[in-house]
Structure 1
Amino acid sequence: MTDSADTSQATEEDFAFCRAIAGRANANLLHAARLLSAPRQSFFFATYAAMRLIDDAVDDEFLCRPAPDREKERGAMLADIDQWQAQCLGVAEEGPLPGTVLRALQATAHRSDLGDAPWTGLADAMRRDVREQPMPGWDDFLAYAAGATVAPATIFIYLLGAQPAEDGFSWALPEQPVHYAADLGIFCYLVHILRDLAKDAERSERLVTIPDALIEHAGLDKAGLSDAIKSRDPRIAVLASDLRQRADSHLESGRHSLQAFKALIGRREQLALSGLIGIYESLFSRFSTDYFAGMADAPALEQALRKKLLPS
């Protein structure tokens, strides 16, 4: 069946705006989505742009501000998240999303059976960030990751498996998208954390989403992570090893569900998924030897893998 989802209520300029927002992140998910058909790409860029805008607002415009500013602006930021969620759920017109992105959502996600869970999940994770809730243990990390990373992964999986309906997309596979997305999303997120640890720790300890228990088990504290990385403290390698073991567990679990999923989707969608996973598996393997060398090599390696596995 040819994908022909109707996006007539949004203009080309609306989707171009969404592409520009998504492109700022230069994420692997973005490159994978470019392998999909035009209607699926439109859906992806609309949803990804919406998520990118609220995530950037929390990370760049709130969490990196001085403590007095954060305290003063916390209520307004939480209200923005509430309004963002209402816009994404299709129950409000006004909010932080610009009209261009909202129209793109109305022409794509709002005409599908994607459901509320991805939007609610990400909103909950962003509220946790803004409230600066502690993350003492691994269960707290998993609860946070359910929104921060499983939510966008679920939308990507939905787009790979959904089929064109009368004017949108609908899902008819044996399991819900989150079943196929959960372990994949957490594995990729842990690889992101390993890749970006130096950058995040230097910008703000509030951007480091590693449970306190893991940091303390390595003999470190969150406030000292940036200095420890710069000095190549061997305790950082201990922390990285712990994260790798946990990532490997999710990779192994995810392989089983994704193997079944791949048999149910089209060839183009299979290529996008396999290429995306291949990038993260290769990065993960590079971090499994010398972690500090892996961090240094990651940007060039990632770029080379994109050209090889997700050629545009």
Structure 2
Amino acid sequence: MTDLSGTDLTRADDFAFCRDIAGRANANLLHAARLLSPPRQSFFFATYAAMRLIDDTVDDDFLRRQASQREATRSAMLAEIEGWQAQALGISEEGPLPSQVVRALQATAHRSNLSDGPWTGLAGAMRRDVDEQPMPDWSDFLAYAEGATVAPATIFIYLLGAEPAESGFFWSLPHPPEHYARDLGIFCYLVHILRDFAKDAARSERLITVPDALIQQAGLQKSELPLAVGARDPRVGTLAEDLRQRAAGHLEAGRRALQDLKPLIGRREQFALSGLIGIYESLFNRFSADYFSSMADAPALEQQLRKDLLSSHPSS
């Protein structure tokens, strides 16, 4: 197998650049990925950095502009997503991604049999955000989540099950990575929403990816959510419980899929997977109590769970 850990100076710099970008998110997925072997880590951080860059551009830049600015720059933002997708798929080297990330992708994802699905899925979700498409009901949420959260989860699962090959990695398990990643990704995404609800509501209602129907069933309107969260309105707790119940269904389905996956992957990979799920399950269980207290407690709990995961890393 070709060495993907960055033995020459340029490649090492490229992967360090990607790791720095990815690390800004401080996501649980990153902590779990740090438990993998160096070649798998390099692959993960290259792909995650590419995804992080376009997601941050949309969420932290475009969606936070004034309405008139969003309208004036919408076409340019959609073109940027198009260019990003071409780079991510290896169709073009030109686009918004830095050259370091492009080279890191060429050394990892583009030398594997990872499908186009994660890239096209995330690009579709980003286009939906930029177009400011409404999210009326649960089916719309699930369609959005296929790109927004199942995409990075699919790459993580791919790296747990793919085997080293002559030119990179090769997946040959009975089902595609998406089969094992889908419910896991949606469950984790719903926990993210529960954890970050107050922060997202304060930044912009456009960052709240909860279907209108669920908000209305709780007796609220989307525009009311920032004030309702600040006032500890019990209707927010009602909405949170609805999301939690839906997350429970995806957790159950995800467990079944992962039971099939675990015997097919290595010990180190099993540990990384179990550790990641353990963090999210602990947060999920904490949200069964008073929701507003849970939100306040979540950062400290999450930080401790990450420390516990990294400190208990087994030998390969």
Q: Which runs of 5+ in 2 are unaligned?
A: none
The TM-score normalised by the length of structure 2 is: 0.96
Quote the residue 1:228 is aligned against. Answer: 228
Q: Give the CA deviation at 1:194.
A: 0.2
Output the CA distance in 2 between the equivalents of 1:257 and 1:41: 23
Quote the residue 1:191 is aligned against. Answer: 191
Mapping for residues 153-192 of structure 1, pairs under 5 Å: 153-192=153-192
Q: Give the CA deviation at 1:226.
A: 1.1
**Structure 1 residue ranges, 4+ long, deviating more than 3 angstroms after superposition:** 2-10
Q: Is the 8 A contact 1:8 1:107 kept in 2?
A: no
Quote the residue 2:20 is aligned against. Answer: 20
Q: Is the 8 A contact 1:6 1:107 kept in 2?
A: no
SS in 2 for 1:293: helix
Q: Give the CA deviation at 1:6.
A: 7.3
Deviations 1:130-164 (A, max 9, x none): 00000000000000000000011000000000000
SS in 1 for 2:24: helix
Output the CA distance in 1 between the equivalents of 2:207 and 2:71: 17
Deviations 1:179-219 (A, max 9, x none): 00000000000000000000001100000000000000000
Output the CA distance in 2 between the equivalents of 1:58 and 1:117: 20
Q: Give the CA deviation at 1:310.
A: 3.3
Deviations 1:262-312 (A, max 9, x none): 111000001100000000000000011111000000000000001112337
Mapping for residues 1-312 of structure 1, pairs under 5 Å: 4-5=3-4, 11-311=11-311
The amino acid across from 1:235 in the alignment is R
Output the CA distance in 2 between the equivalents of 1:6 and 1:172: 22
SS in 2 for 1:134: coil
The amino acid across from 1:140 in the alignment is D
Output the CA distance in 1 between the equivalents of 2:284 and 2:24: 24
The amino acid across from 1:32 in the alignment is A
Output the CA distance in 2 between the equivalents of 1:161 and 1:3: 18
SS in 2 for 1:245: helix
The amino acid across from 2:166 in the alignment is E
The TM-score normalised by the length of structure 1 is: 0.98
The number of residues matched between the two structures is 311
Q: Give the CA deviation at 1:223.
A: 1.1
Q: Is the 8 A contact 2:2 2:166 kept in 1?
A: no
Output the CA distance in 2 between the equivalents of 1:250 and 1:194: 15
The amino acid across from 2:105 in the alignment is L
Residue identity over aligned pairs, in percent, reads 73
Q: Which runs of 5+ in 1 are unaligned?
A: none
SS in 2 for 1:310: helix
Output the CA distance in 2 between the equivalents of 1:248 and 1:4: 40
Output the CA distance in 2 between the equivalents of 1:84 and 1:4: 26
Q: Give the CA deviation at 1:7.
A: 5.6
Output the CA distance in 1 between the equivalents of 2:144 and 2:211: 10
The amino acid across from 1:38 in the alignment is P
Output the CA distance in 2 between the equivalents of 1:42 and 1:138: 35
Q: Give the CA deviation at 1:224.
A: 1.1
Q: Give the CA deviation at 1:4.
A: 4.7
The amino acid across from 1:173 in the alignment is L
Output the CA distance in 1 between the equivalents of 2:275 and 2:235: 33
The amino acid across from 2:37 in the alignment is S
Output the CA distance in 1 between the equivalents of 2:159 and 2:112: 10
Q: Is the 8 A contact 1:276 1:310 kept in 2?
A: no
Q: Is the 8 A contact 1:3 1:39 kept in 2?
A: no
